[in-house]
Copies of this chain bind each other. A is one copy, B any other.
Amino acid sequence: MPAVIENYWVTILKALGHPTRLQIVIELLKGTKCVTDIHDILPASQANISQHLTVLRNARIVDFAQDGSQRCYYVCRPELVEGVLELLRNEQPESKAKKVQCCLRKPENADGHQAV
């Protein structure tokens, strides 16, 4: 299994890496909400929330269902987002650094390190 990075991984992580967007996603996990609902909950302007929803949508984290003039947004990858949040909740901010021994690179052995 090669450690290939898919571009959309970074897009997803970047999209989640903003306080307002993470909050939006957390709120949407509780239930589908339209833009006004989110606006009522979070301290951001309607335009700004709309902008963040666009980012989340481009990352395919959320999608919406049109309902008249409303757009009901929801998390379309709940397993992913819930999973990430679960992992974060299990982490302590100051978790003990797991001490690890050093790598193999040595001056007298130029091939000691793991080159490609």
Q: Which residues of A contact B (CB under 8 A)?
A: 3, 5-10, 12-19, 22-23, 26-27, 29-34, 36-37, 40-41, 60, 63, 65, 67, 70, 72, 74, 76-80, 83-84, 87-88, 90-91, 93-95, 97-103, 105, 113-116
CB distance from A95 to the nearest CB of B (A): 6
A contacts with B: majority SS: mixed
- Contact at A16–B13, with CB atoms within 8 Å? yes
Total identical chains = 2
Q: Give the distance in Å from the alpha carbon of A106 to the alpha carbon of B100 in the complex.
A: 57
In the complex, chain B residues whose CB is within 8 Å of the CB of A41: 115-116
In the complex, chain B residues whose CB is within 8 Å of the CB of A90: 79-80
